[in-house]
Amino acid sequence: MDTRAFLAFFLTLHTALAFTVPMSDIGEIAHAVYLQSLLLVWLLLAGSVALLVQIATKRMNHPTKIMYRVCRMNRSRLGEGAVFLVSLALMMQVYMVLKVSIPSLVPFYADPFLADLDMMLFGQDPWRISHALLGSGATRFLDMFYVTPCLIVTLGMSLWACFSKDRVFSRRCVLAITMCWFIIGVWAAVALSSTGPVYVEHFYSDPRFAELRSVLPSDLTATRTQAYLLENFGAPGFGKGISAMPSMHNALYLLLIWMVYDRFGNSWQLWSAIAFEATVFVASVHLGWHYAVDGLVAAILVPPIWYFAGRVESISLLAFPAPISKSPARQPT
């Protein structure tokens, strides 16, 4: 079983599971698939235009013929990358179905423990530290950062993973991304079913984080999104569902750090990825989405997933060694 076969098995297993959970809604899934298909079409057009512009700037004759030749020469990588990209789009649909179902499988219970653990590690609720050090302008910056830059980086990370020239690296990355979403975003989230600070008062009747909610302006994207998720709690659909522990925002960009380190080592690219993830970590706590331990648990879970994704093929060879062919016995002379 190579990496691609294991990825197909892993994705198929969770896709089948998604059809058995209480919140599965074929209509909502079909609509979300349609929207993601439009995104994939725009990505294809953008990639084609970018390649054509790159060829045109070199002032080559017959740019369309050259573009066709380049695509033909790289058809194996582009074809596999396209399959990976569609697989990640399908994975996200499956993840959203499973995420919405988490509280129906295991009702929220872990928030008091997680909040107390934060208090024990930091001496107070971590959001108080960030709000004491950062002003209102920083709050709005972090709110913007948590959406647009994160969306761009996630898209770029996915395209890099799917279409990297190093196909072994590409397969490892796509498998690791998929495993992070399902193992961390679903199974660990079910085991530690929690809502996050901004929802504690609603689900636990505990006003512990009421002050945090009061200091977050009502016009923030985070505040509006949090209200939308609460209004649609229990309803199936893409972009819905409440789950805090572990933090998938942090898990994804922690994985990006490992990907960058694998390619570039101790470089400016690595430190840029670390700075990006540090900002995401602060924003996730500052905006009330997560406890600090949500990101810390993600940091513990990501490395073994990255290691395992790199060892899948060698592990399968150890489990199912190739038969040793015996040479015919020599005849006595």
- Parse the chain into domains and list their residue ranges: 3-317
Measured in whole angstroms, how far is the alpha carbon of residue 207 from the centre of its chain? Answer: 31
Measured over the CA atoms of residue 234, residue 287, residue 222 and residue 296, the dihedral's sign is negative
C-alpha triplet 319, 324, 327: angle, nearest 5° = 175
Structure tokens at 159: 């395209």
pLDDT at 87: 85
Cα–Cα distance measured from residue 96 to residue 94, given in angstroms and rounded to the nearest whole number: 5
Q: What is the pLDDT of residues 130-153, one digit of tens each?
A: 999 998 889 999 999 998 899 889
Q: Which H or E element spans position 171?
A: helix 167-179
**What is the rounded CA–CA span in Å between residue 55 and residue 66?**
8
The mean pLDDT of the chain is 84
Among 191, 158, 152, 20, residue whose Cα is nearest residue 92: 158
The pTM of the full predicted model, rounded to 2 decimals, is 0.85
- The set of residues, in sequence order, having a beta carbon less than 8 Å from that of 61 and lying 6+ positions away, is none
Planar angle of CA 176, 180, 183, nearest 5 degrees: 120
Identify which of 302, 197, 274, 292 has the alpha carbon closest to the alpha carbon of residue 242.
Answer: 197
Q: What angle do CA 151, 20, 225 make, to 5 degrees?
A: 30
pLDDT band for position 199 (cuts 50, 70, 90) = very high
By mean pLDDT, which of 45-54, 61-70, 149-158, 324-333 is the weakest? 324-333
Cα separation of the two ends of the chain: 44
Rg of the chain, C-alpha, whole Å:
23
